[in-house]
């Protein structure tokens, strides 16, 4: 296919699916797509490896340091007093976007870019309301379709929701977190196949299965319940793939299958709040009178000081790096490598230096232990769930590893694999390239020329690099890889 000639795109996401769980037994339809397309076998997400940082990177083609969604939760210090923001709340996100004059995201998104040239982005998702909004947070401004499988506050336009419910059935309430969400995945798949594609034919469509992420968090990444929901999502995807082989492919639809991050297993529970309190700080989970450091809850540590002086940041870094649970630590840059506090690396090295970013961000210490399900990757964690469950957000390679499969007439070599490093930020510029739309300068991802049919054999230059910081017995090493003009974070290890 010549780029731009009637190309359409369908992005199908499996939230939290590790690439090493893709197999003929568990995911026969994803494997069928691999046989029809190109597998990106060295593909990864961004840091932090959290859903509501990664999906904004998907639709902006850049990192958290540019788009500004620095974590699933963050502290907004642009207002007084500072406020705690939970980005799972779709109504709050709309309010913040309107209050900021449309600057919830600091860079243009795929939906906005397509709308500017008269094209459309449709979203169907079973993620949280906030995640669903993030795929196209301005959909209502352009009359584009955004449907949640469970949450009406994330749906627009109203008439499309009414039509979907008339054809497929009413929205069902989200099941309890401990119960895998089978009905939601089936609903959004049916709406795509019976309503959105036949009637609206969007130029780009995102179909996002919110599983197996939730089930992994509450049952374990390799648990029977998690494997069952993976198989169920794959079954729903099989319906999409049947449609694509029968109809979509001949109409120029390109398929991109992705995940936003992987999971590793929490093996040792810790309490950041308790550790900080024992060291003489007055911590809380959000800014409040009497709180000198807000330790925002999550698998990625985000510490916001009430008075973020260099001395206070240095003291706080010294405190956490003395703890057995502490992994890689980042603060604002002091120079090309180091952060302002001894022992920390500059946050720019993981592309997370945004005005909303915490004064100190850290990952919990992770290792290559094997969990009871035979999966590699374990870590300290800080939540109220028992040991042995899936977590993500940090810098273990299994958290960063993500699915990437591309298929269609625009792509080369069906049934092949490409080992050149790639990332979630690369899909938006690649789609725009194929649509002959100039990408904005803010995009840091690259066009995946090496898998495009019109550019066979294009091999970019690949260079590895490592960065180190020490404080006493604490030593961290961050590894990255550069591919042409793009850079990907590969992981980090702790010594000492």
Q: For 294-313, give the DSSP string.
A: EEE-SSEEEEEESS--HHHH
The residue-averaged pLDDT of 256-283 equals: 98
Cβ contact 341:369 at 8 Å = no
Whether residue 228 lies inside any domain: the answer is yes
The residue-averaged pLDDT of 231-251 equals: 98
Task: Tell me: do 282 and 260 sit in the same domain.
Answer: no
Neighbours of 3 (CB within 10 A): 14
In this prediction the pTM is: 0.97
The chain-wide mean pLDDT, for the chain, equals 96
444 Cα distance to chain centroid: 16
Q: State how far the Cα of 226 lies from the Cα of 215, in Å rounded to an integer.
A: 5
Whether residue 470 lies inside any domain: the answer is no
% of the chain surpassing 70 pLDDT:
98
Neighbours of 246 (CB within 10 A): 9
Task: Tell me: do 196 and 337 sit in the same domain.
Answer: no
DSSP code at position 285 = S
The residue-averaged pLDDT of 247-259 equals: 97
Neighbours of 489 (CB within 10 A): 23
% of the chain surpassing 90 pLDDT:
96
Task: Tell me: do 406 and 365 sit in the same domain.
Answer: no
In the structure, what pLDDT confidence band is assigned to residue 159 with cuts at 50, 70 and 90?
Answer: very high
Whether residue 478 lies inside any domain: the answer is no
Task: Tell me: do 209 and 292 sit in the same domain.
Answer: no
Count helices and strands in the chain by DSSP H and E runs: 15, 25
Please report the pLDDT score of residue 2 as a whole number: 47
Kindly state the greatest CA–CA separation across the chain: 65
Peptide bond into 157 cis (omega under 30): yes
The partner residues of 242 in beta bridges, in order of sequence, read none
Neighbours of 17 (CB within 10 A): 30
Q: State how far the Cα of 481 lies from the Cα of 271, in Å rounded to an integer.
A: 33
Listed residue (73, 68, 62, 144) closest to 100, CA to CA: 68
* Residue 383, both tokens: 């939540």
Please report the pLDDT score of residue 76 as a whole number: 96
Task: Tell me: do 311 and 420 sit in the same domain.
Answer: no
The residue-averaged pLDDT of 230-257 equals: 98
Instruction: Look up the CATH number of the domain holding residue 401.
Output: 3.40.720.10
460 burial class (0-12, 13-18, 19+ CB within 10 angstroms)? middle
Task: Report the interhelical angle of 224-243 vs 28-36 (nearest 10°).
Answer: 40
pLDDT tens across 302-340, in order?
999 999 999 999 999 999 999 999 999 999 999 999 999
Indicate the SS3 state at residue 475.
Answer: strand
Task: Tell me: do 15 and 150 sit in the same domain.
Answer: yes
Cβ contact 428:439 at 8 Å = yes
CA distances from 377 to 222, 262, 374 (A): 12, 10, 10
Strand extents, DSSP E, 195-263: 204-212, 253-258
Q: On the CB side of 112, how many CA atoms lie within 13 Å of its CA?
A: 17
pLDDT over threshold 90, residue 4:
no
Instruction: Look up the CATH number of the domain holding residue 286.
Output: 3.30.1360
Whether residue 3 lies inside any domain: the answer is no
364 burial class (0-12, 13-18, 19+ CB within 10 angstroms)? buried
DSSP code at position 21 = G
Please report the pLDDT score of residue 455 as a whole number: 54
Range of the domain at 213: 8-264+395-451
Please report the pLDDT score of residue 1 as a whole number: 43
Strand extents, DSSP E, 332-375: 345-346, 360-364, 366-370
In 376-410, which positions are buried (b, 16+ CB within 10 angstroms) versus exposed (e)? bbbbbbbeeeeebbbbbbbbbbbbbbbbbbbbbeb
Please report the pLDDT score of residue 457 as a whole number: 55
pLDDT tens across 100-151, in order?
999 999 999 999 999 999 999 999 999 999 999 999 999 999 999 999 999 9
- The residue among 342, 357, 383 that closes a domain is 383
Q: State how far the Cα of 296 lies from the Cα of 44, in Å rounded to an integer.
A: 25
Whether residue 489 lies inside any domain: the answer is no
Q: State how far the Cα of 375 lies from the Cα of 483, in Å rounded to an integer.
A: 29
- The residue among 383, 410, 429 that closes a domain is 383
Which helix (H) or strand (E) covers residue 405, if one does?
Answer: strand 404-407
pLDDT tens across 366-392, in order?
999 999 999 999 999 999 999 999 999
Whether residue 426 lies inside any domain: the answer is yes
The domain tally of the chain equals 2
Q: State how far the Cα of 474 lies from the Cα of 327, in Å rounded to an integer.
A: 9
Q: State how far the Cα of 388 lies from the Cα of 220, in Å rounded to an integer.
A: 6
Task: Tell me: do 31 and 166 sit in the same domain.
Answer: yes
Task: Tell me: do 347 and 426 sit in the same domain.
Answer: no
Whether residue 434 lies inside any domain: the answer is yes
- The residue among 334, 352, 383 that closes a domain is 383
pLDDT over threshold 50, residue 268:
yes
Task: Tell me: do 403 and 275 sit in the same domain.
Answer: no
Whether residue 69 lies inside any domain: the answer is yes
Task: Tell me: do 164 and 224 sit in the same domain.
Answer: yes
Task: Tell me: do 246 and 274 sit in the same domain.
Answer: no
Task: Tell me: do 144 and 37 sit in the same domain.
Answer: yes
């Amino acid at each position: 296919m010549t780029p731009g000639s009637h190309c359409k795109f369908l992005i199908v996401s499996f939230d939290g699916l590790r690439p090493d769980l893709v197999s003929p037994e568990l995911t026969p339809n994803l494997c069928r797509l691999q046989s029809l397309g190109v597998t990106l076998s060295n593909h990864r997400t961004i840091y932090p490896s959290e859903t509501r940082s990664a999906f904004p990177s998907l639709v902006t083609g850049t990192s958290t340091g540019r788009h500004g969604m620095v974590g699933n939760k963050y502290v907004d210090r642009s207002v007084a007093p500072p406020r705690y923001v939970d980005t799972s709340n779709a109504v709050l996100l709309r309010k913040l976007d309107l209050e900021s004059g449309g600057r919830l995201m600091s860079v243009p998104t795929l939906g906005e870019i397509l709308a500017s040239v008269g094209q459309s982005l449709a979203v169907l998702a079973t993620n949280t309301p906030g995640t669903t909004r993030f795929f196209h947070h301005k959909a209502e401004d352009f009359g584009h379709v955004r449907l949640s499988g469970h949450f009406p506050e994330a749906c627009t336009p109203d008439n499309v929701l009414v039509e979907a419910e008339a054809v497929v059935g009413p929205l069902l309430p989200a099941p309890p977190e401990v119960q895998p969400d089978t009905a939601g995945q089936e609903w959004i798949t049916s709406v795509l196949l019976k309503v959105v594609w036949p009637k609206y034919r969007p130029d780009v469509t995102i179909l996002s299965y919110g599983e197996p992420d939730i089930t992994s968090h509450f049952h374990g990444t390799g648990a029977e319940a998690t494997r069952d929901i993976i198989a169920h999502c794959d079954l729903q995807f099989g319906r999409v793939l049947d449609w694509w082989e029968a109809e979509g492919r001949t109409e120029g639809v390109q398929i991109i299958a992705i995940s936003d991050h992987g999971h590793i297993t929490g093996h040792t529970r810790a309490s950041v709040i308790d550790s900080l309190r024992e060291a003489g700080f007055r911590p809380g989970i959000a800014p409040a009178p009497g709180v000198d450091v807000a330790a925002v809850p999550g698998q990625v540590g985000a510490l916001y000081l009430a008075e973020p002086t260099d001395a206070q940041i240095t003291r706080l870094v010294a405190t956490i790096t003395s703890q057995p649970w502490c992994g890689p630590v980042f603060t604002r840059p002091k120079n090309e490598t180091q952060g302002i506090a001894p022992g920390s690396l500059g946050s720019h090295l993981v592309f997370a230096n945004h005005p909303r970013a915490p004064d100190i961000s850290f990952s919990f210490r992770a290792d290559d232990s094997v969990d009871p399900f035979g999966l590699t990757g374990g870590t300290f964690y800080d939540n109220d769930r028992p040991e042995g469950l899936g977590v993500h957000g940090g810098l273990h390679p299994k958290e960063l590893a993500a699915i990437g499969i591309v298929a269609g007439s625009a792509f080369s070599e069906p049934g092949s694999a490409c080992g050149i490093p790639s990332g979630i930020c690369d899909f938006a510029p690649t789609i725009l390239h194929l649509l002959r739309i100039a990408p904005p300068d803010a995009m840091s991802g690259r066009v995946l020329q090496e898998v495009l049919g019109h550019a066979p054999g294009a091999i970019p230059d690949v260079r590895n690099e490592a960065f180190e910081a020490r404080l006493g017995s604490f030593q961290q090493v961050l590894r990255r890889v550069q591919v042409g003009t793009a850079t990907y974070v590969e992981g980090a290890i702790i010594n000492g």
